[in-house]
Amino acid sequence: MNKDLVSIIIPFYKKKEYIFKTVNSILNQSYTNYEIIIVYDDEDLSDFDYLKEFFKSINKIRMIKNLQNIGAGLSRNKGIVNAKGKFIAFLDADDIWKKHKLKNQINFMKKKNLKFTHTSYEVIDKNDKVLGERISRNFEKVDDLIKSCDIGLSTVIIKKEIIDHQTKFPNLKTKEDFVLWLKILQKNISINYFNETLSSWRKLDNSLSSSVIQKLIDAFKVYNYYMKFNFIKSFYYTICLSINYLKK
């Protein structure tokens, strides 16, 4: 089977203690036709030269340096613009992939002619201890996903062709991936699950994603600004999203 190029996009912001394990999980993939695009998104450049020196012998890695901190979503957009692959895979700088992640998922996508897939994933702590598992499922329309963002970003592979000027990550601190998934569903592109656990998502207490207030603000923006819901409807769905998040 012809191996299409996969562009793997990693935004980097103060994750030096995990990035090498993350990159190693890519270098150990059984699928070998990929490029790694690390978007350095920290105004403190102390880690940039260190990482560039460390990775200089790996020709599959390209590093892009942001002039200022623009956030994970906009950094991923920059990575997509610079991507050469037919497929785009997302991986956060502290998450890990299983050895056959790319091979199994890409083969599944090509066999079924799919544009967007995600998988189940493990939840791990800072020491790689497994805390639990999140099970994936199919999403055919916006209503299937609107109350709970049940898609692990680091499990997602998409065809690059579905990203355009209107369909990309928004400028949000959190929930930026949720907005993109909803926009893709609005284009009548289904989100299909591949029933294998191929990624590990690292849950860190000090991460931005643990900021409750920020999450509530951004959740409301998802519905009110990006989905164009009125205030009451936006408030209702923000509560639903929060409740479903607490259940996880």
DSSP state of 191: B
pLDDT at 209: 54
Residue 135 has a pLDDT of 93
Q: CATH number for the 6-170+184-204 domain, one of 3.40.190.10, 3.40.800.20, 3.90.550.10, 3.40.50.10330?
A: 3.90.550.10
DSSP per residue, 93-155: TT-EE-TTHHHHHHHHHHHHT-SEEEEEEEEE-TT--EEEEE----B-SHHHHTT-----GGG
pLDDT digits (tens, 9 = 90+) for 181-240: 999 999 999 999 999 999 999 988 765 555 888 889 999 999 999 999 999 999 999 999
How high is the mean pLDDT in each 10-residue block of the chain (248 residues)?
87 93 97 97 90 91 94 97 97 97 97 98 94 95 95 97 95 95 97 96 71 90 97 97 85
Q: Which residue has the tokens 């105004």?
A: 43
Please give the full DSSP string across 224-241, using - where no structure is assigned: IIIS---HHHHHHHHHHH
CB 88 within 8 A of CB 105: no
Q: How many helices (H) and strands (E) does the chain have?
A: 8, 9
Residue 5 is predicted with a pLDDT of 97
pLDDT of residue 206: 61
Domain boundaries, the chain: 6-170+184-204
Question: Could you give the 3-state DSSP secondary structure of residue 8?
Answer: strand
